[in-house]
Structure 1
Amino acid sequence: MKKIVVVGAVGGGATVAGQIRFYDKDAKITVFDRDSTMSYAACGTPYVIGGVIEDTESLLMADPEQFKEKRNIDVWLEHEVMEINRAEKSVLVKNLKTGECFHEPYDFLILSPGGSAMVPALDGLASTDHFVLRSFGDMERIMSYIEQTQPSSCAVSGAGFIGIEMAENLKNLGLHVQMVHKSSHVMSILDPDISNQVLAELKSNGVVVHTNSVITKADQKELLLSTGQKLHADFLILSTGLKPNTELAEKAGLPIGETGGIITNEFMQTADPSIYALGDASENTDFVTGGAKRVPLASPAHRQAFIAAQHLTGHAIPKTGLLGTSIVKVFALDVAMTGLNERSLIEKGLLYETVLLKGNSNAGYYPDHSEITLKVHFNPETRKILGAQCIGSKGVDKRIDVLATAMYAGLAIEDLQALELCYAPPYSSPKDPINMVGYKAISNQKGTNA
């Protein structure tokens, strides 16, 4: 009987434990997490804060009692794994309530420790009410603060995924929201022309955005920017990046990669074949380039959990690399992406061309349609798709999902014109925007107008 220990009980950890039990009915599975909640939908926390999701408990997918009863898996919350003894194949665990420490043996160890919000060393930060959003407890603290103090304004530092979602949800609560972002473009993962549309949407909804700026000093409700400008904010949300929790792996001598994650092979094994790593703290490979890539999102973590569980139970299914497919809601707009952006293509010295299509999400004569911008990068020699972005109010996810599938399938950009996609006026056009990208690529190759 295998003895399996899992570190981390949120998305990746809880999923891999459940997957292993599905394929191995006899293994002894024990999960440790230093938090007080497990298996919660972290991606939903901004929307609970904003009141879009009214039932806070709906984010809790399971608890230790359910895991024990339904899956015969032992989950110990508020228990932190302090050390890994690879020679003895055991972990040192600390009960955070009592301070008691004990050793837990394992045959296989799975690390899913997640990541921690990066908090800048900001002068005067302690004098300012400030929060990060990385856990269920963080969400509860923000909600409690808003309920008790009834603030009228907030500053959000960082305009990435969480920063954008928090800005929208705090604005929906009626707060005056200002964003501070060190780059010249919000959502720096996007190409500048797509990012500019996100910026315009933020501004049109009353969010004040300060780009090319960082907060250099905090003095209670006054924030000083690197530009010399001063902002007033009742509280501050820090969304300036994520640091993978690799300390445990580092102390155990497991190699850390160039992205800061624990290096894994195609089966999510670390340099120690009896130890796997997945989720935010694991380093994987880029589907397009084959280089190192780390994608701290829920979907890759769930896929990695499946791969690790399959391999551990004798069914080897190698991972195929990461595209970083993702989407975010920005008030009335949706923006999604997959693969490489222009900056990455240039930095890696890759040859590329771009098809830019502006059209409608569905039939223009149908009352409910949206203008969308679809941007697709491809290799002009191999014709393989390298990356794509899409923005609009409808049908954005559909287009990027099709393109991500096309990339995994190895389709050439011209092949997009041949895809038989569903059509009715409320949903698309006889020639979907995806088809039109393929037609346009053919026209451009022939030197004619699309």
Structure 2
Amino acid sequence: MQKTDLLVIGGSAGGLLSATTARKVYGNVKITLIRDTEKVMVPCGIPYIFGTLKDTSKNVIPDRMLMNNDIELIIDKVVKIDRENKIVETKNNDVVQYKKLIIATGSLPITPTFIPGYDLENVYAVLKDESYLKNILEKVQNFNNIVVIGGGFIGVEFAEQMKSLNKNVTLVELADACLWQAFDKTFTDEIEGTLKKNGIEIKTKTKVKKILGDDKVQEVELNNGEKIKADVVILGMGVKPNAQLAKDAGIQLNEKGSIIIDQYMRTSDPNIFAVGDCADKKCFFTGKNVPVLLASTAATEAKIAGCNVFQLRLIRQNKGTISAFSTKLFGRTYAAAGMTEAKAKEEGFSLMIGEFSTFDKHPGSLPNAQKINIKLIFSKCSGVILGAQISGGDTVGEMINVLSLAIQKEITASELNTFQVATHPLVSASPIAYPINAASMEAITKNCKHLNKDFQI
């Protein structure tokens, strides 16, 4: 029997950062990490294996972070957690005893067993396994007709990458718009316009009835009877928590199958913590469960768990998921954080909205300048920011991180209007039209119009 002070199950973002954070915080304790794959894929980089990288080995998280932090790595699969004796059993019949345990088992792709033909050859869910992905990469080279089912981030990114290989790509989405959970209609229209402009056929408000073929997929039949030729089908229909191991151990799960945790990442067992996609997520604004499974969220939770696993050192830091996203499609970046206007209205918030357009360099005539569109959503009464959506050049990716922090710290429109920025013609918008300040001012101006009716000098 092996013994360790801290055992981490899972080697992706949540598990890796939990282990390395604990090492930095607690010093000379024994830390062991168990994972069931030889290599770990960068989860958000998986679509880019196919068009940009063209090689699975270029999308691997290196093990040097573990080695440099003196963390023991075991390649094996945990099959049982024995909470009473504080041990885990593995597929290879090994036993590891722990003092504290962090579960970071991640998520599994949703497999649509309700669609006949889901199990035909060349129908692929998106698994985070190098050999599996390498097989898809080899197959795709020889085929031309790709159907992607699901218009979330994984779906649109796969569609973009497949199109970059000059494939015929059709994207099928059940909802009214692609990326509808992260963006309001103005932005989803822009996103879909970008995809269509670059040759991707998009079918929203469309349900897949069957996947057709003898042994291999040949067509995808839609509910309206239309049939789309398909050599390969990518299932981008989202993911679900991988929490069976915790469930079998008697750890409490919520109705969605996620491990219930508190603000310190503790489960119903005080010696066991959980982070990442397997753990439940609460909305920052409402406290309701939200299905937002992101590597960036896992990283935040991992830092909290790593700091708190032996002693509570970060006090009440996990106040909920803000839902910060970014993606890049055909050279244009789209990013969002917090609530959409539609979601905020659904939850009953009274809102004021600020919108603005400018260029990401000044003057806008500089080479490679891109137009920025920004939308900020505020609580009308308090002025506190609730959400943000931006499209533009690469600077948008970091701008949304500023706004995510603003949401987390409950900053107001007035504060954002007057916050001080560093600008330069080649790397940012103009200081007299910086998007965050300008959109905040626009929201304030619209909200104050009623005051001008009785204003006199």
Normalising to structure 2: TM-score of the pair?
A: 0.90
Q: Is the 8 A contact 1:261 1:294 kept in 2?
A: no
Change over 3 Å in CA distance of 1:155–1:55 after alignment to 2: closer
Counterpart residue number, 2:361: 362
Matched letter for residue 231 of structure 2: D
Instruction: Indicate the percent of aligned positions where both proteins have the same amino acid.
Output: 28
RMSD over aligned CA atoms reads 2.2
Instruction: Give 1:141's match in structure 2, choosing from 118, 135, 146.
Output: 135
Matched letter for residue 44 of structure 1: G
Counterpart residue number, 1:98: none
SS across alignment from 1:106: strand
Change over 3 Å in CA distance of 1:409–1:400 after alignment to 2: same
Distance 1:368 1:25 in 2: 48
Distance 1:241 1:139 in 2: 17
Q: Is the 8 A contact 2:101 2:272 kept in 1?
A: yes
Instruction: Give 1:109's match in structure 2, choosing from 87, 96, 101.
Output: 101
Counterpart residue number, 2:33: 31
Distance 1:208 1:416 in 2: 39
Give the gaps of 5 or more residues in structure 1: 96-100
Structure 1 range deviating more: 424-433 or 331-340? 424-433
**Matching of residue 215 in structure 1 with residue 196 in structure 2:** no
Matched letter for residue 23 of structure 1: V
Change over 3 Å in CA distance of 1:55–1:439 after alignment to 2: same
Matched letter for residue 74 of structure 1: E
Instruction: Give 2:21's match in structure 1, choosing from 11, 19, 22.
Output: 19
Residue 423 of structure 1 and its aligned partner are, at CA, apart by 1.9
Counterpart residue number, 2:6: 4
Change over 3 Å in CA distance of 1:413–1:257 after alignment to 2: farther
Q: Is the 8 A contact 2:5 2:99 kept in 1?
A: yes
**Matching of residue 82 in structure 1 with residue 79 in structure 2:** yes
SS across alignment from 2:442: helix
Change over 3 Å in CA distance of 1:128–1:184 after alignment to 2: farther
Matched letter for residue 123 of structure 2: H
SS across alignment from 1:184: coil
Distance 1:41 1:397 in 2: 18
Instruction: Give 1:308's match in structure 2, choosing from 305, 308, 333.
Output: 305
Matched letter for residue 133 of structure 2: M
Q: Is the 8 A contact 1:159 1:186 kept in 2?
A: yes
Q: Is the 8 A contact 1:12 1:112 kept in 2?
A: yes
**Matching of residue 391 in structure 1 with residue 394 in structure 2:** no
Counterpart residue number, 2:149: 157
Q: Is the 8 A contact 2:358 2:429 kept in 1?
A: no
Change over 3 Å in CA distance of 1:360–1:93 after alignment to 2: same
Change over 3 Å in CA distance of 1:128–1:210 after alignment to 2: farther
Residue 67 of structure 1 and its aligned partner are, at CA, apart by 6.5
Q: Is the 8 A contact 1:42 1:134 kept in 2?
A: no
Structure 1 range deviating more: 290-299 or 111-120? 290-299
Distance 1:136 1:355 in 2: 43
Change over 3 Å in CA distance of 1:393–1:227 after alignment to 2: farther
Taking the TM superposition and a 5 Å limit, the aligned residue runs for 1:145-224 are 145-147=139-141, 150-189=142-181, 190-220=183-213, 221-224=218-221
Residue 298 of structure 1 and its aligned partner are, at CA, apart by 1.3
Instruction: Give 1:225's match in structure 2, choosing from 222, 228, 232.
Output: 222
Counterpart residue number, 2:446: 444
Matched letter for residue 126 of structure 2: L
Residue 418 of structure 1 and its aligned partner are, at CA, apart by 0.5
Distance 2:6 2:448 in 1: 58
Give the gaps of 5 or more residues in structure 2: 453-457
Matched letter for residue 354 of structure 1: I
Residue 151 of structure 1 and its aligned partner are, at CA, apart by 0.4
Change over 3 Å in CA distance of 1:46–1:259 after alignment to 2: same
SS across alignment from 2:170: strand
Q: Is the 8 A contact 2:281 2:320 kept in 1?
A: yes
Residue 184 of structure 1 and its aligned partner are, at CA, apart by 1.1
Residue 447 of structure 1 and its aligned partner are, at CA, apart by 0.7
**Matching of residue 48 in structure 1 with residue 49 in structure 2:** yes
Residue 124 of structure 1 and its aligned partner are, at CA, apart by 2.3
Distance 1:449 1:53 in 2: 56
**Matching of residue 292 in structure 1 with residue 293 in structure 2:** no
Normalising to structure 1: TM-score of the pair?
A: 0.91
Residue 224 of structure 1 and its aligned partner are, at CA, apart by 0.4
Q: Is the 8 A contact 2:355 2:443 kept in 1?
A: no
Residue 259 of structure 1 and its aligned partner are, at CA, apart by 4.8
Structure 1 range deviating more: 2-11 or 374-383? 2-11
Deviations 1:279-318 (A, max 9, x none): 1111133222233345311111112111111112435113
